[in-house]
Copies of this chain bind each other. A is one copy, B any other.
Amino acid sequence: MIILFGIFIRYDQESDAHWIEYRKSQNISSDIENDFYFRYPSFQDVHVMIFVGFGFLMTFLKRYSFSAVGFNFLIAAFGLQWALLMQGWFQSLDPMDGKIKISMESLINADFCVASCLIAYGAVLGKLSPVQLMVMTLFGITLYAVEEFIILNLIHARDAGGSMVIHTFGAYYGLSISWMLYRPNLDQSKRLNGSVYHSDVFAMIGTLFLWMFWPSFNSAITDHGDGQHRAAINTYLALASTVLTTVAISSLSQKTGKLDMVHIQNSTLAGGVAVGTAAEFMLMPYGSLIIGFCCGIISTLGYIYITPFMEKYLKIQDTCGIHNLHAMPGVIGGIVGAITAAAASERVYGKEGLINTFDFTGEWKDMVPSRQGGHQAAGLCVALCFGVGGGIIVGCILRIPVWGDAPDDNCFDDELYWEGSIYIFFT
């Protein structure tokens, strides 16, 4: 890794000490226009989502908190280095000197890339060994970089918050792997596949940090100015609306009218996933609310009906229920993005605003919104194919019995991987 970085990776002009000269040559009046000041607060929020958000969200299992937060840490730290290389090769290789120039935006993209692998981790949580996770991450990042290149560069779909590129891909990648690694005797560890009071409170830390910083996630790499502003507002509204529907559906679905902590921890986030693609468009505040409203219903019902169904009939064991939190909302997000893009007009966006928002420049300068809608839909299909296809292939690789996976009756158990973890038994 060090060697590859040594060969390929350099600072870009905004982080290079030559910036002061570059700035003057470009007639930029102030240091504050360095991209750092546009992106850094969002970057840190995304960073918190990746490490604390995903990490703690998965601590809900009673005896798997160390692994949840620890392996999440490991996957993310490994993944982002690999992602800088892979994304660099595909997207920001400087044709002049063959170097990848990294900046704050590269780091955000690397975090995004890692997010897709952490989503996949959610499906296999408790069932794979660290070595298997590393393999899964290595291939996942690589597939992601290819898929992202195809969707964003070749097809020219827009996907600021990654409904398609991150969530749809990541979720189906994880689900396919879980399907390939189906464990018929998993109920031998049933005693450990559940939460206790405190572990659920820990998981709420993850939920809340994901929920709060999702506006930063969806706005982190959108256009400077109104793009970031609008993406943050749309995401904020969609998420707020999801919370209400989730609580309502969770309560209505029980005869006693009680709430289920699993729904509060997960389904409340579905709106942020679904608004990902369209967040930077002129979705209108009520549009965001509608998306959040629908996703709250679908996601909560998914936990109640679809997850048990998938486990029983489709042989897909989905520990965190990522199908409800990422897969379905991600697909919805892709569709909403396609519709919103197709419906874009100069009246709503303004002439320059339309060009700016959809980046109708360079070789795409003859693009029109209706065709853009088609490209968005094509992007969604690519993400689905890469997710399912990639997951099946990597699942095959992981079935090779050299990676040392956990026995069926020791899944969801920290003791397998952590020294001296003494616990009281909460069973």
Contact = CB atoms under 8 A, between A and B. Distances in A.
A213 B46 CA distance: 11
A424 B100 CA distance: 54
Interface stretch (A169-177, A240-248, A328-336): A240-248
Nearest to A196: B422
Question: Which 8 A/B pairs are nearest by Cβ-Cβ distance?
Answer: A17-B353, A19-B226, A77-B243, A31-B225, A6-B286, A31-B224, A15-B229, A5-B286
Which of A3, A211, A264, A286: most chain B CB closer than 10 A? A286
A38 B44 contact: no
Contacts of A259: 70, 417-419
A200 interface: yes
A107 interface: yes
A230 B17 contact: yes
A121 interface: no
Interface string A26-61: 000111111111101110110110011001100100
Contacts of A241: 1-2, 77, 81
Nearest to A17: B353
A394 interface: no
B419 A260 contact: yes
A198 B168 CA distance: 34
So how many copies of this chain end up in the complex?
3
B423 A197 contact: yes
Nearest to A45: B44
A94 interface: no
Nearest to A78: B244
A226 B14 contact: yes
B201 A59 contact: yes
A150 interface: no
Nearest to A415: B258
A294 B422 CA distance: 31
A288 to B, nearest CB: 8
A423 B196 CA distance: 7
Contact of A104 (B66, B229, B348): B229
Contacts of A237: 5, 81
Given A31-B225, A44-B216, A261-B419, 13 more contacts: A2-B241, A6-B286, A11-B284, A17-B349, A20-B225, A21-B351, A36-B228, A41-B41, A69-B208, A73-B264, A74-B243, A77-B243, A107-B236
8 contacts: A5-B289, A14-B225, A15-B233, A29-B30, A41-B41, A47-B212, A77-B240, A261-B421
